[in-house]
Structure 1
C-alpha cells in the first residue's frame, strides 16, 4: 500500500502558501497547489484533499510529491512540457506580436483581444496569453512630450543644480498656480464604503464657483506657503510674491522655480523683482512640468482632498484647502531629488531619437 509523502512546513513556507491560497490576483492553478500542500501539511490524505480542493487524486499526489522534492519553487512554475515547441505556435505568436505593435484596426485606435483574434482567425484567449507573456497592453497609453525649448539643457542644469546643491543662506521654493479649482457639490449623497462594496458618488454635480491656489513649496523642508485668490493675473502673482516675502526669514535669498506662464514674466512683475533683490527666478523648460516639484503637492491635494470632496461654496472650498495645507505642513518632510542633469539629458536624447525614428518611418 502506497503512503503519501509527509509534508512539514517552515514558518516562511507556510506564510507564503497562505498568501498564495488567498491571493485574489494569484493564478487559480497556484491557489489550488498551495491549498494541496497546506492540507497535506495538516495530515490529510490525498483523497480527502481531492474532495476539499476539487482536484483529481492523481494530480494531488503529483503536486504533493513535487513540493516535497523542490519546495516552493517546484509548485510555483509549471514543469516543462515534453517535446519540441510547436512551429505553428511560434509562427502564430510572431503574427500576433507584429499585428499588435505594427498595425491598427481599420475603425479603431487600438486592438482588443477579440478584434485582433477575429482579424487573425485565432481565439481571443490565445491573443490574451501572448499579450501577457510579452507585457503588451494596447488599451493603455501614457502621455509624454519632449520639450522643444532651445535652452532646455541650460535650464535643466540650473533647476536640477538648485535641487541637488541648494545655495547657502537661501531657500529654494517651487512655485506655481493651480487654476480653476472648482467648488463642486454632488446632486445626491453618496453611499459609504462597505465590506465588499466601494463608496459611491454621483456622476453629475453642481458648480458653485472657482478659486486659484497659489503655492510655494519649500524643497528642503516640504512646507507649503499658500494663498487662494479669485484670478491669476500678474496682480495676483505679485500679491503672492509679497506673501512669500512676508512668510520667509528676511535675511535669506529666495530662489523661485517656476514655469513659463506669461504672468510670471510680466513687465510689472519684473519691475517688482528689481525692487526686491533677494528674489531670484529660475524657469523650467517649456513642456517640463515634471521638473517643478510643487506639481507633486498639487497632485496629492487633488487625489486626497478635492476629487471626492463636496463643496457648496467657494469659501468652503478655500477652508478645506487651507486645512489640508495646514495638516500637510504639520507633517512635512523635505523632498530629495536624485536624478542628475546629465541623466535627464541622456534620457531626453534617447526619447528624441526614438521619436525622430518613428516620425521618419
Structure 2
C-alpha cells in the first residue's frame, strides 16, 4: 500500500494525536502498518484487533482513501413521532394555556408533554423530548417579557425632547455650561422589616443568611432628583407621595448649588403630581422650570432616575433588614453621600434614531394587526 506525503502526515496525526478519538486512532494505525508492508495477521497482533477488522479497514482505505476511515451514516432507530405530531406540539406551545382551556399561566415542558398525551396527539412523550423539539425553533413558552403599549399620540415628540436633553440639546440648540437636566421620580413603599433573628454575615462557602420572618416597622416614600450629566442625586424621605412632597423635592433641588432658586425664580413653571388621580402616571410628568436670564435652566424628567432607583434597591434596600424607619432614612442619606462621591454618568445609548426605528417597527406591527382584525371581521 502506497501513501502520499500528505496522507502519511495526516495518518500520523490521527494515530498519535492526544485529542484523536480512539476508533480513528486505531484505524489510522492499521493503515500505517499496512503501508510498511506488514501482513494482516501481524497487524492484528500488534493492534489487538481481529484479522477481519484489519482486512476491512485496509480495504476501505484502498477504495476510498482518508474519508473512508470515518463512520458511515447509519439508519438509526425509527422515529417514534411524525413531523405532524412535532408541528402540533410546537403549535400548542405557541398558544396561551388559558386559551386552550388549561388553568396555567405559562407552559413548561412537563406540562406540555402531559397535555400532548392527554389530547391524544402523541403517545407517552418525555419532557426532554418536548424540550428538544422546542429548541429547534428557539421556543421558550415558560419565559415572558412585559411591555407597554404607547397610547399618547404625542409620545414621539415628547420622547425625542427627553433624548435630546440627554445629549445636551434642547430645541435644536446645545445646552450651555450653566444648564442642567434633572430626572426625578418617587420610590414608593420602602418598608422597614425587622427580622425576628439577626442577619448572619457571609462566611467561607456560605452566603449571607437573612431570617424569613419579620415584623413590619412601617413604610416611607423616597423621592429623588438625579442630575443626568453630573451624576448627582438629591433625595428626601416622606411619609407618603403626592404633589406637596414632590414640590418639596423641587425646592430642595433648586436650593442646591449649582441650581440656586433665585436663578430659576424668574421662569414659569408647570406642575403635575407624580401620580395621577386614577393611579396612572401622567404622560408629561414632572416639573419644567426655565429661566429667562443667563442662568440655569433645570428640567425635571422621569427617565434615568429609574436606573438610579434600581441601584438603590440592590445596594440599600435588599435584603430588607431595618429596625425602624429612622434607620431606613439614615441609610438612604448615607448612600446618597457615598454615591455622589464616586458616581459617573450613565452611558445612555438609546438615541433619537433608535427611537424612530422602534416606533416604525411598532407602527408596522400595529397596521398588520389591524389588517388581520379587519380580515377576520369580514370573514365573519
Give the TM-score range, shorter chain: 0.5 to 0.7
- Of 107, 114, 119 in structure 2, the residue corresponding to residue 118 of structure 1 is 114
TM-score, L = length of structure 2: 0.62
Could you tell me how far apart the structure 1 residues matched to 2:263 and 2:322 are? 38
Higher radius of gyration, 1 or 2: 2
Is this contact kept in 2: 1:260–1:283, CA < 8 A?
no
Q: Which runs of 5+ in 1 are unaligned?
A: 9-32, 34-57, 59-78, 285-291
Could you tell me how far apart the structure 2 residues matched to 1:194 and 1:256 are? 53
SS in 1 for 2:216: strand
1:144 maps to 2:155? no
The match for 2:275 is 261
Give the aligned CA root-mean-square deviation in angstroms.
4.0
- Cα deviations across residues 1-27 of structure 1 (Å, max 9, x unaligned)? x9962439xxxxxxxxxxxxxxxxxxx
The match for 2:58 is none
TM-score, L = length of structure 1: 0.65
Could you tell me how far apart the structure 1 residues matched to 2:323 and 2:150 are? 40
Could you tell me how far apart the structure 1 residues matched to 2:328 and 2:152 are? 36
Greater relative contact order structure (CA < 8 Å, 6+ sep): 1
In structure 2, relative to structure 1, the CA distance for the partners of 1:355 and 1:330 (3 Å cut) is: same
- Once the 2 structures are TM-superposed, how far is the Cα of residue 196 of structure 1 from its aligned partner? 4.8
The match for 1:330 is 341
- Of 141, 153, 156 in structure 1, the residue corresponding to residue 156 of structure 2 is 153
1:95 maps to 2:88? yes
SS in 1 for 2:16: coil
Is this contact kept in 2: 1:117–1:124, CA < 8 A?
yes
Could you tell me how far apart the structure 1 residues matched to 2:292 and 2:250 are? 10
Is this contact kept in 2: 1:162–1:172, CA < 8 A?
yes
Q: Which runs of 5+ in 2 are unaligned?
A: 1-11, 22-48, 50-69, 117-121, 170-174
- Once the 2 structures are TM-superposed, how far is the Cα of residue 90 of structure 1 from its aligned partner? 4.2
Could you tell me how far apart the structure 1 residues matched to 2:167 and 2:290 are? 27
Number of aligned positions between the proteins = 281
- Once the 2 structures are TM-superposed, how far is the Cα of residue 130 of structure 1 from its aligned partner? 2.3
- Once the 2 structures are TM-superposed, how far is the Cα of residue 155 of structure 1 from its aligned partner? 0.3
In structure 2, relative to structure 1, the CA distance for the partners of 1:193 and 1:80 (3 Å cut) is: farther
- Of 180, 197, 203 in structure 1, the residue corresponding to residue 189 of structure 2 is 180
- Once the 2 structures are TM-superposed, how far is the Cα of residue 80 of structure 1 from its aligned partner? 10
Could you tell me how far apart the structure 1 residues matched to 2:162 and 2:71 are? 53
